[in-house]
Structure 1
Amino acid sequence: MTAPLPAVLVHQPGVLATEEIVARLTEHARQAQGALAPETERALRKASAAFSSWAGAEGVAALPASPEALAAYVDALSGLGRRPASIRQAVWAVATLHRAAALPDPSKAEVVRLALKRMSRTLGTRQRQAAPLGKADVNQIFNKAGMSLRECRDVALLLTMRDMLARRSEVVALEVADLRFAGDGGGTVLIKRSKTDQAGAGAVCWLRPRTVGELRRWLDAAGITKGPIFRRVGRPGIVGATALADGEVPRILKRLVEQAGLDPAAISGHSLRVGMAQDLVANGADLPAVMQAGRWRSPTMPARYAERLLAERGAVARLQE
C-alpha cells in the first residue's frame, strides 16, 4: 500500500494502540503493498478514520471495537441519512482493519447483522443512480464546446469515456502507447487494469472515428507523443506532464454539461457509463453484450441502469403488443 495503515489509526482517539496491534498492522501493510487498488486504499483510510473519530467522541474503543459499538455506529450513520452502500462500506472498513490486526471481526456478530437489517428497512437498499449522459446529450455537448486547448482535451475525454464505458480511474490511466489507430479512421485502446481486473489481464475497447479524430486533435495541440493522454491544462495553456487525477473527471463533465445548457446537478464520473449502457440496450443489445462492453462481472448494475428500457421490452410489454 502507498502508506501504512497504522498512520491512519494509531494516533486517532478511541484506538488502543498497543505495540502488538501496531506491529500487526505495520506487517499487514507491508505484505499488502500493491495488492489493493488506489481507490480501495483511499476508501479504507477514509472510512477507518471516520469510525475512529466517531468512537473517540463516543468514548469507546475503535480498535479493537466491540460488536455493540459497531452496531451503534451503523445506527448513527442511518440516523444521519447516509446511503446504505456508504454504511456497508464503513462496516467493511472496520472489518478489514480488525482482520489486518488479527483481531476478532465485530461485523460478524448478530447485533451488527441486525443493525444492518434495521438500516435496510429504514433507508431501503436502492442506490441513487448517476444521471445518464446519452447520445443526444453528448451530441449537444459536442456541438456547444469551444475551441480552447482545455475544451479540446475535455471533448476528447468525453468521447473516449463514452466509447469505452470507462470508469474515471480507467480513462485517466490511459497512455499514448495504449492507442492503436485503424485505417478506417477508428481505433482501439487498451485498458491495462481496472476495478474488476486487478490482476491486469487487460481489455481492448473500440473507439469510433469521431473519437479518434478528437483524440488526435488534442494530442497534436498539446504536443503529447508519449505518456499520459489526459493531463492538466494550466494557464496560459500549459499542459502538465502527469495524468489528471480521477477526481477531476466529474468536474470536467459537469463543466461541459453546464456549458451545453444541461443540468449538471446529478452528473458524476459514472454518467457516461450509465448513458452508454442505456443506449446499447435501446439499440437492441442484450445484457451479456452490455456486460462485456462495460467490463461488468455481474448483470446487476447494467440491468439497473437500463431497467426502464428492459421493462419496455419485457414479457408484459410483449403481451400488450
Structure 2
Amino acid sequence: MSKHPIDPPALLSDISGFSGDLSRVLTPEDRDTLAHLLKRGIGENSLRAARSDLAYLEAWSLACEGGQLEWPPARETVLSFIAHHLWDPDEKAINPNHGMPDHVREFMTRGGYLRSTGPHAPSTVERRLSTWRSICKWRGLDHPFTHPEVAKTLRAAIRSSSIPRNRKSRKAVDVDLINELLDHLDASCTTYLMQNAEDEAIRLRAFRDRALLAVMFASGGRRRSEISNLMSGQVYDLEPIPTEDPAWPDGIPSMGLRLGRTKTTDDRDDESVFLSGRAAVALQEWQTAASILSGPVFLRIGRWGKIYETSISPHSVNQVLKNRLHEIGLDPRDFSAHGVRAGYITSALKAGIPAPEIMEQTLHKSLDTLLGYFKDEQQRQGRAARLL
C-alpha cells in the first residue's frame, strides 16, 4: 500500500487520475474532461460533501498515524475509524480508553474538525465511509469496506448507537400549511401601494416566494437545489385542463417542468413533473412580475427591489420557507425545506392518491423510500398508538 497525499479542494483533479496504470495513457486534456464529467455526474452538493468528508478523513489519519491516508486503507484502519466514532458513552464513563483516544480527539477539536464531545451520528459515519469507499473505487483500488468483518462491525455499532437518526425537518409542511402560507403571500402581493422602492421589493419578494413555495410543494416536494437551479428553459406551458368548476372558466392552468438530472434520475431520463391550478398561476404571475424570459426562475432580489440575474442559493430556499413560517406565527426551527417533500407525500397519501401516481410526481424509484416519509406520521396518528 502506498501513501498518497490528497488536497481536498482539488478532489476532482485527484480522482480523475483513476488507477496508476490508466493514468499513464491519459493526457492532461483527458483527465480534465473526466474531471468535468465526474463533477456533472456527482452533483455540486454531493461533491461538496465529498470534499468535506475527505478533509475530515485526512485530519483523522494525521491525528492517528501522523501521516496521510493510505490508499487503499487497511481493514484495521477502517475498523479503527468505526471504533473512534460509534462508541458507547456509558462504557466511556467507566473505561476512559473506550472510543476515540484523547490525543486524537484533542487534535481533531483544535483543528475544528470535531465539535461534539460525544459519538458521531450513524448517518455521518456511514456517509464518510461511503465517500472513502467511492474514492477507492474511482481509483480502481481493491478496498476492505465490503469485507464481512467490516460490514458486520458497522451494523452492530449502528444498532448499539444511542443517537437516533435525526429527521431533517421536525415537522412536515403539509398541504394545509402550504395553503396558509400562500394565502398569507396573496395578501402581500396585492396590498402594498408601491409608494417607494422598499414597498416594491416587499411585493416582488412576495410574488417570488409564493411561486417558489407553490412550485416546490406541487411539483412533488422538490429539493432545495432543484428549486434554486430551475431555469426558464425547463418550464413550459400546457393547454388548460377542461373543467366545469366555475372558479376556472377558461380551464385549469397547467405547466410542465423538465427536471433532467435529479438525485434519483439522470439526464437520460428526461423526466417532467407538472403544475396545475394554484401553483401554475403563482409561477406565471411571478414570471410576469419579474419579466423573466430566460435564465434562472427564482432570482435574488435586493433590498430596494433590484432583481439580480443570479438565482437564489439552496440555503436561501430554506430560509424563504423559515421566514414565511415565522410571519404566520410558527417556530421556524421546527421546519426545513425537506419537510416540504415529507408534507407532499403525507398529504397525497392521506388524500387517497395511489402511490404509483405520487411517485410519478416525486420521481421516487422505490416504493419503500416513498412510504418511509409517511410511516412515522401514519403510525403516530393511527389507532394502534391510541389504543389506550
TM-score by length of 1: 0.83
Q: 2:224 aligns with which of 130, 153, 168?
A: 168
Query: Is 2:141 aligned against 1:134?
Result: no
Q: 1:155 aligns with which of 203, 210, 224?
A: 210
CA distance in 2, matches of 1:251, 1:267: 10
Query: Is 2:46 aligned against 1:8?
Result: no
* Structure 1 residue identity aligned to 2:124: S
Q: Which residue of 2 aligns with 1:119?
A: 157
Matches within 5 A, 1:250-289: 250-289=318-357
CA distance in 2, matches of 1:188, 1:101: 40
Are the structure 2 counterparts of residues 38 and 139 from structure 1 closer, same or farther at C-alpha, using a change threshold of 3 Å? same
* Conserved? CA contact 2:260–2:267, under 8 Å: no
Q: Return the offset for 1:94.
A: 0.7
* Conserved? CA contact 2:86–2:158, under 8 Å: no
SS of the counterpart of 1:189?
strand
CA distance in 2, matches of 1:154, 1:313: 31
Structure 1 gaps of 5+ residues are: 12-18
Structure 1 residues 63-72 or 294-303, which shifts more? Answer: 63-72
Matches within 5 A, 1:35-74: 35-59=41-65, 61-64=68-71, 65-74=73-82
SS of the counterpart of 2:50?
helix
* Structure 1 residue identity aligned to 2:234: D
* Structure 2 residue identity aligned to 1:133: V
Give the aligned CA root-mean-square deviation in angstroms.
Answer: 3.2
Are the structure 2 counterparts of residues 82 and 200 from structure 1 closer, same or farther at C-alpha, using a change threshold of 3 Å? farther
* Conserved? CA contact 1:133–1:272, under 8 Å: yes
Offset from partner CA, 1:153-183 (integer Å, 9 cap, x none): 1111000011112122222222223223333
Q: Which residue of 1 aligns with 2:132?
A: 94
CA distance in 1, matches of 2:269, 2:10: 36
Q: What is the total number of aligned residue pairs between the two structures?
A: 306
CA distance in 2, matches of 1:196, 1:85: 19
CA distance in 2, matches of 1:312, 1:245: 34
* Conserved? CA contact 1:169–1:194, under 8 Å: no
Q: 1:236 aligns with which of 297, 301, 304?
A: 304
CA distance in 1, matches of 2:52, 2:32: 16
* Conserved? CA contact 2:54–2:132, under 8 Å: yes
Q: Return the offset for 1:30.
A: 4.9
Structure index of larger Rg: 2
Are the structure 2 counterparts of residues 85 and 286 from structure 1 closer, same or farther at C-alpha, using a change threshold of 3 Å? farther
CA distance in 2, matches of 1:75, 1:103: 24
Structure 1 residues 160-169 or 206-215, which shifts more? Answer: 206-215
Q: Return the offset for 1:124.
A: 7.3
* Conserved? CA contact 1:177–1:227, under 8 Å: yes
SS of the counterpart of 1:240?
strand
Q: Return the offset for 1:296.
A: 0.6
